[in-house]
Amino acid sequence: MKSWLSIEPNSDFTLDNIPFGIGNIPGSGPRICSRIGDAIIDLEAFARLGYFDDLGLKDSVFAQPVLNSFIALGKSITCKVRKRIQECFSAVNQGGHDFPVLHEIALHKASVIEMLMPLQVGNYTDFYSSIEHATNVGIMFRDPANALLPNWRHIPVAYHGRASSIVVSETEIHRPKGQIKPADADTPLFGPTMQLDFELETAFVIGRETRLGESISALNAEEYIFGMVLFNDLSARDFQSWEYVPLGPFLSKNFASVISPWVVTLDALEHYRVPGPVQEPEVLDYLKTKGDLNYDINLEVLIQPDGKPEFAVCRSNFRYLYWNMSQQLAHHTVNGCNMRVGDLCASGTISGSGPGSYGSMLELSWRGTKPVILPDGSERKFINDADTIIMRGYCQKNNVRVGFGEVKTKILPAL
């Protein structure tokens, strides 16, 4: 699809994408926006120009500080909005626009718009769905011959995380403090984490509510998923190894997770479906699915030391996930747990089979025994203060690209 707007080669934000986010529009404040190339579309202003009149949508629908109420309109509406934007900015429909008014009122350069937290996240669940990651962690911390726990191939393992500390890209995070128990000590110490880590993840956004007691079928779970974001689940590994028995992670995870500002819809990802890994043994009936439910999303993590160039330390792919999103959501609700619009379900660390595809410093440095060497000669076992962590993700097929942009955060010293 070609647009009359200028789109740079390898832009994530082609006409095939049309993501949704919240931009802080000068003089107007937070508004629901979309993006094509380097142009951010203020959808409230776009609606005032009459582009959505025949859809029965008023400008007030888009004058919102988060996407939740827009998402709650349902896919029957949000899909039409996305298609209308594609139609209006398509090269074949270049005529008929009042370009000076459109540019003055509704279009802004991406460089001048602050992107805000796109969602009000009421609940957040983090899955553990990469068999490569789970195996690596099992080898490091348990028995290499029995790296996976007995339940892992039978259920999409997950835990409930802290929603209040999920923040948007560009938010700076202070190094957290907590308890650390060195291997040679009898009692724990208190102080800043010495093993700050990233986790390369994605997350899906719940787009449709369910009632308490209601379950979602794996066969139609995608009807309840609005779209996806990139997700950096920051972790303090030394806190984690001390606290996780018996109830799992706590302070090691709840201090911050960072998401990308643009929500990419499942419609935009439709052409990038791929089969998932073969699941053995056969899953229980409520987890059985049909069709290709994984997506070919290229993922990478870069570290940028303060004042120095960024360096890619990991390249992975969403297609590696053992448990797909439909299975995750079906398992999440099989007991009657209710879902709310804007809830986030994260994938867990997405690792591939080779060392260069491991989605965390824990794996890349193999628990600190194999430091990662950066171009300036410095090494990283984990993340240093003043390091910026950058994650990017995109799909590409037949020269058509749909991407997520990036999620970026700088680590500051502990307070």
Q: What is the pLDDT of residues 48-75, one digit of tens each?
A: 999 999 999 999 999 999 999 999 999 9
The answer to whether 133 is a known catalytic residue is: yes
The CATH number assigned to the domain with range 21-116 reads 2.30.30.230
Domain with CATH 2.30.30.230 in the chain: 21-116
Q: Strand, helix or coil at 404? A: strand
Give the pLDDT confidence score for residue 100 in this predicted structure. Answer: 84
Query: How large is the greatest C-alpha to C-alpha distance in the chain, in angstroms?
Result: 75
Give the pLDDT confidence score for residue 128 in this predicted structure. Answer: 98
Residues whose CB falls within 8 Å of the CB of residue 173, separated by 6 or more in sequence, listed in order: 167, 234, 255, 256, 258, 409, 410, 411, 412
**pLDDT one-digit tens code per residue, 180-197:** 999 999 999 999 999 999
The CB-based long-range contact list for 376-381 (8 Å cut-off, 24+ gap) reads: 376/305, 376/308, 378/305, 380/303, 380/313, 381/195
Alpha carbon distance 300, 249 (integer Å): 25
Sign, Cα dihedral of 157, 291, 209, 296? positive
Average pLDDT per 10 consecutive residues for the chain, totaling 415 residues:
92 98 97 98 96 93 98 98 96 79 93 98 98 97 92 98 98 98 96 98 98 98 98 98 95 98 98 98 98 98 97 98 98 98 98 96 97 96 98 96 98 98
Q: Which fold has domain 124-412?
A: Fumarylacetoacetate hydrolase; domain 2 (3.90.850)
Alpha carbon distance 254, 77 (integer Å): 35
**pLDDT one-digit tens code per residue, 248-261:** 999 999 999 999 99
Give the pLDDT confidence score for residue 64 in this predicted structure. Answer: 97
Catalytic residue among 103, 108, 133, 332: 133
Is pTM, for the whole model, over 0.95?
yes
Distances (CA, A) of 62 to 29, 31, 400: 12, 6, 28
CB atoms within 10 A of CB 77: 17
CA 219 to chain CA centroid, Å, is 23
Domain with CATH 3.90.850.10 in the chain: 124-412
Alpha carbon distance 187, 232 (integer Å): 31
